Amino acid sequence: MMKKILLATPTMHTEEQLYIQKAFETNWISPLGPNVDEFEDRVAAYVGADSSAALSSGTAALHLSVILAGVRENDIVFVPSLTFAASVNPVRYERAIPVFIDSERDTWNMDVAALRKAFEKYPHPKAVMAVHLYGTSANMDEICALCKAHDVPLIEDAAESLGTTYKGKMTGTFGDYGIYSFNGNKIITTSGGGTLVARQAKDVEKARFLSRQARDPARHYQHSVIGYNYRMSNVAAGIGCGQMMHLEEHIERKHKIYKTYKEGFSEIEEIEMNPLNREGIDNNWLSCMTISPDSNVTPIQVMDALEAENIETRPIWKPMHMQPAFESYDFIQVEDGISVSEDIFNRGLCLPSDIKNTEEDMERIIKIVKKQFRKR
How do residues 102-157 score in pLDDT, each as one tens digit?
Answer: 999 999 999 999 999 999 999 999 999 999 999 999 999 999 999 999 999 999 99
Would you kindly state where each structural domain of the chain is located, as residue ranges? 15-244, 247-374
pLDDT at 20: 97
Count of other CB atoms within 10 angstroms of residue 248: 11
pLDDT below 70 — which residues of the chain? 375-376
CA-wise closest residue to 32 among 292, 230, 322: 230
> DSSP states of 235-281 as a string?
HHHHHHHHHHTTHHHHHHHHHHHHHHHHHHTTT-TTEEEPP--TTEE
Q: What pLDDT shows up at residue 323?
A: 98
pLDDT of amino acid 77: 99
Pick the CATH number of 247-374 from 2.40.50.140, 3.90.1150.10, 3.40.140.10, 3.90.660.10: 3.90.1150.10
Q: How far is CA 31 from CA 26, 43, 51, 197, 251, in A?
A: 14, 17, 17, 18, 28
Give Cα 310 distance to the centre of its chain: 26
CATH level 3 topology of 15-244? Aspartate Aminotransferase; domain 2 (3.40.640)
Q: What is the dihedral of CA 199, 205, 211, 216, to 10 degrees?
A: -150
Distance in angstroms (rounded) separating the CA atoms of residues 81 and 98: 10
Q: Residue 374: its pLDDT value, please?
A: 82
User: Are the C-beta atoms of residues 143 and 155 closer than 8 Å to each other?
Assistant: no
What are residue 54's DSSP bridge partners? 195
Grouping H, G, I as helix, E, B as strand and the rest as coil, residue 1 is: coil
Collapse the DSSP code of 199 into the 3-class scheme (helix H, G, I; strand E, B; otherwise coil) and give the result: coil
Exposure string over 271-306, b if 16+ CB within 10 A, otherwise e = bbbbbbbeebebbbbbbbbbbeeebebebeebbebb
